[in-house]
Structure 1
């Protein structure tokens, strides 16, 4: 009987270990962990260790399995195995893209670890999103993390908190709103209300923390979801299947129960770009990062709940790009940098600028050539102020309003294009090894 009992005990722990391999578990007694993140262009970028290699991933509620971009650059160190070729599709008008599906990968996020994680590796260079964000991003992760934990996203303090569901306790919160989540293809949807053309319209929206925009709506005359006359055409974003274009406008308001945002940005993507997304029953669009960041979120997939609490970003004004320029990191370029320094000479060693007590202080400067980031125009809106001024796709921006761009982050440069209408923008650019100067004023199109 003793041997039989030991056998059953080993069998039980064997099945437990196999089960644990297929989910994330937190390796501490508290069964909860806090991970700091970077908020880049309304996106949550978290550190993820894959097979012992430290990477950066976007936390994306709209993705099923982890995806690694620009795989060829890190393939040797990742040592992924058990691969098979598949095709995956995302937003955009292009065809499905080829990827490698890999199993038995070890993922570690803070104290959370999973020993048997599937991932998709994409080696097409054009699908590397890091240049458009200006920071190193290796991939995206979503469902596997949200399914195994209650995930708190504190946009205001820039950390996420992962808690195993059985250890999570809900606290009373009078200033919060709680919603039931609906799931289609393992993706979360929320019911909200939008006001357009003096009409209040209930909408069902995909929650997409991996999108940096505010609100996307699928035009539908029968529901009253139409852009009206107050819009302009623009580049909306870059999906797995290519670029997405459409109309940009403003809502009269957007409401999540008692939380109401006035004049929220809205985009209406072209039908071809979202053909497959519209096949989800009753889906009317997407709510993304520029709205989500205005709340601290508690997302509980196990109980199909999401809790929202307003944070410091709630009253931040909705703005949009008034220049027509979209930039991306475009490699590096050599830049001449001056170094200022001071040294001392005796009085008989030459001329001086200042002297005291027989010691001469000499101020001089030298320069060195350094490699610095280059930023190129990758999208240019038709009839925009920048296009009318003469700028072109491929132009490398050297300075903006007198500031060398290599001293700035991409996000800092882009923020200047979101300024008030009438603001003067002066650019020095390089085109075909020639330098040109352009200037234009930001225009309000809405």
Structure 2
């Protein structure tokens, strides 16, 4: 099976033991905390981590117990230590997947170090979250960092501080509320309350999942009933395949003394959870679109979480009103005229092209990401207008989309109820213009 991935990266099987080093993650002596800047992409925290000397990008995922690597095709060499073959389970409607287990790896995040990190490597090249996020993502990491530090996530400032748990930790002002969390099987759960039509303040136990870009997932049972206003939707991609469910909203969510009204929620098809033998008394999960409304201090060692609402707290929840899903699918050339001011050719810094060729007559030819319709919801405004899966998006409301990140394009397509959206696409070597009006999904 190792031969399957030799085309993608080189594995060096080292069996020499690591000795004389600390176990787990640690900071240098006398350093109280390490501050790391992160990118917030589609409600997910993306951080850079050096793995055995190779720089990779990870999603910080509090719902994952052991780091998992994937999408390593563009890495010339990655050293993995003490490798064996395994299968792992994940969310989705597929089967368990083949992977490698590797022990004793060196992880470095700023001054944070771990000389003996266990990890898994997924062999299926089709498991790749980079196209839908628009940036390279090589893995997910969670529990081990949360276990060894007090983790202070400032969603509004896009920074994380990893505090030595033996230090005093961050200073919590009176705007923070501290609540209990339960660490079960290397994952954190907290109590909250949900209000549905006809059923108020239902106690729920929720997984804290920074690796989910969604807001709230709920499992239907005798207490928690699916609201009558909903629509079928694609909820995301797990390691074991696509996840579908019913999209709706709930009247209110209460976390401690914090209340959110008309909160976005989804009821996933439970077939996606078939690989999980025991959900215990869990009722769902809180994902990034909910968690980003707070600045959060995770204190796994003491079973606590401290929350303070931030500037995202009152922002409306995002719905895919248009019905279009997008992803990167290779690259394409675009040509642009460059302004000539007093004989000086001015470049447009907003272009995301990495390769640019200047042609005679002040024309620039740029190699830019190609954005395609990866999915379209049946009966949605975009579907009714005639857009199809596989259409290459060229412009939205007159704006050439290669100047924008994929999340910015999604915002253009889903701005507000009643807005008319015009989408220029390429299909079968022809340019087509489609127009539709965004409608309230629950009316």
Distance 1:176 1:342 in 2: 53
Does residue 183 (structure 1) correspond to residue 189 (structure 2)? The answer is no
Match of 1:383 in 2: 379
Structure 2 residue aligned with 1:408: 404
Q: Per the alignment, in what secondary structure is the counterpart of residue 315 of structure 1?
A: coil
Deviations 1:349-389 (A, max 9, x none): xxxxxxxxxxxxxxx94323221111111111111111111
Does residue 106 (structure 1) correspond to residue 102 (structure 2)? The answer is no
Pair 1:299 & 2:298 matched: yes
Tell whether the 8 Å contact from 1:278 to 1:284 is kept in structure 2 after alignment: no
Q: Distance in 1 between matches of 2:337 and 2:382?
A: 31
Greater shift, 105-114 or 329-338, is seen at 329-338
For 2:275 and 2:121, locate their aligned partners in 1 and report how far apart those are by CA, in whole Å: 22
Contact 2:163–2:169 (CA under 8 A) maintained in structure 1: no
TM-score (normalised: structure 1): 0.88
Q: d(CA) in 2 for partners of 1:437 and 1:327?
A: 17
Residue in 2 that maps onto 1:270: 269
Contact kept? 2:163, 2:170, Cα under 8 Å: no
Partner deviation per Cα, 1:43-80 (whole Å, 9 max, x = no partner): 11111111111111111100011111112332x42221
Aligned to 2:253: 254
CA shift for structure 1 position 184: 2.2
Query: Partner residue of 2:416?
Result: 420
In the other structure, the counterpart of 2:72 is 71
SS at match of 2:286: strand
Counting only pairs closer than 5 Å after superposition, residues 14-53 of structure 1 correspond to structure 2 as: 20-53=21-54
Aligned length: 408
| Conservation of the 8 A alpha-carbon contact between 1:184 and 1:280 | no
TM-score, with length taken from structure 2: 0.89
Separation in 2, partners of 1:151, 1:419: 34
Distance 2:80 2:170 in 1: 39
Deviations 1:391-410 (A, max 9, x none): 11111101111111111110
The answer to whether the Cα contact below 8 Å between 1:71 and 1:123 also exists between their aligned partners in 2 is no
Matched, 1:142 2:142: yes
- 1:350 aligned partner: none
Q: Deviation digits for residues 78-131 of structure 1, max 9, x if unmatched?
A: 221321111111111011111111112110011100111111112322211011
CA distance in 2, matches of 1:317, 1:188: 26
Q: 1:116-135 to 2 correspondence within 5 Å? A: 116-135=116-135
Please state whether the residue corresponding to 2:267 is helix, strand or coil: strand
Deviation at 1:170, TM superposition (A): 6.0
For 1:416 and 1:162, the matched residues in 2 are separated by 35
The residue that corresponds to 1:286 in the other structure is 285
Distance 1:278 1:248, change over 3 A: farther
Q: 1:329 to 1:116 in 2, by over 3 A?
A: same
Residues in 2 aligned to 1:198 and 1:173: alpha-carbon distance in whole angstroms: 37
In structure 2, what is the Cα distance between the partners aligned to 1:246 and 1:19? 50
331-340 or 140-149: bigger deviation: 331-340
* The structure with more helix, counted as a fraction of residues: 1
- Which segments of 5 or more consecutive residues in structure 1 lack a partner in the other structure? 1-16, 345-363
Which residue number in structure 2 is paired with residue 392 of structure 1?
388
Distance in 1 between the 2:308 and 2:250 partners? 22
Partner SS for 2:179: strand
Structure 2 matches for 1:314-329, cutoff 5 A?
Answer: 314-329=313-328
1:150–1:168 CA contact under 8 A, matched in 2: no
Aligned to 1:228: 227
Q: SS at the partner of 1:416? A: helix
Establish whether residue 218 from structure 1 lines up as the match of residue 214 from structure 2: no
